[in-house]
Amino acid sequence: MPVIATATASLIDVEVETVRQDAVQSFAKQETIVVDITTDDGLSGTGYAYTIGTGGHSVLALLRHSLLPQLIGQDSRDIEGLWRMLHNSTRATTVGVITSLALAAVDTALWDLRCLSAGQPLWRMAGGASQSVPLYDTEHGWLQLPTDELVAGAVAAKRNGWGGTKIKVGKPSAVEDAERLRAVREATGPAFDIMIDANQSFTSAEAIRRAAAFSDLDLFWFEEPLPADDVSGHIRLAESTTIPVAVGESMYSIGQFRDYLQRGAASIVQPDVARIGGITPWLKVAHMAEAFNVVVCPHFLMELHVSLVAAVPNGRYVEHIPQLRAITTDEMQIVDGNALAPETPGLGIAWNRDAMEDRRVA
């Protein structure tokens, strides 16, 4: 049996590729928490999680002092059992962001090992539904960008064969948001998906008002309109608009997704593999959503999510936000507007160890 011999963690800072501003925050840098796990047969798997600028050292401390020592001597194939063991050992901090991020870094490393051992890519080992998945653009839709740049980005995405673009909303007035969105719709025409994202910035009443202001634009979804813990507010919004409500990037447990799905509070789920605690719980959320006839369009981490969206039958879209180019040696393949899940064994991420070491801060 492949026994875990070593388990280490490091923290790497990766600067953002473009200025990113939404209704509530700026994305200054990605704190990338990397876990390397080696088995006694010499195989090594790498996993990761991230923050957008704060908390990385806390995740690193939890890994080094509490979680990673428990892995030594364990069978690396027992991914479900190891996830549960680590989760149960941190009950005082679950459900919580720091614990979920730490669990994700471990879990993705264990899945990397599983796939490497089998000589198979992640997308096939996790389900193998379809290797090719549609892309939409977020990088050209940030809130600080002027309307002409939003339009140019959307037109370029459509020209490249991508399925849609996401525009951040949350300007001081609904009129300003609507004018920006209308300009994009007029430039791209009807056969193009426009998503909007409020980043939890509205009250229930304001979200309902803005959805009404956008009602003639045929929007594909309204993402994170309210704080993630306001399930009842999302229910009221979903009942008041025909725009599909999308949630999930700020949820850290399977139970939170269950509540939204059972109560009809969302019609698109966006689990983030780092924030939900890894591939193991991500797949559970995706399969639960399938049972409710709901699609999965995960948040961020396109280099990893491309394989997971390809793995499940209800995977609908991958969000295009490049962020690992500085510490990897290749990029996600895109053909005719679709992302191709890597065929290489493992997670399919080609890490650049020298570049990672240069950016290592702990």
Catalytic residues: 168, 299
**Beta strands 44-51 and 132-137, pairing class:** unpaired
In angstroms, how far is the first alpha carbon of the chain from the final one?
32
Measured between alpha carbons, how far is 64 from 318 in angstroms, rounded to an integer? 32
**355 alpha-carbon distance from chain centroid:** 23
Q: Are the C-beta atoms of residues 143 and 171 closer than 8 Å to each other?
A: yes
Q: Which two tokens mark 29?
A: 């840098």
**Beta strands 333-335 and 26-39, pairing class:** unpaired
**295 alpha-carbon distance from chain centroid:** 14
Backbone angles phi, psi at 102, to 5 degrees: -65, -45
**273 alpha-carbon distance from chain centroid:** 6
146: exposed, middle or buried (C-beta count within 10 Å: 0-12, 13-18, 19+)? exposed
Q: Are the C-beta atoms of residues 306 and 129 closer than 8 Å to each other?
A: no
Strand 26-39: give its sheet, edge to edge.
4-21, 26-39, 44-51
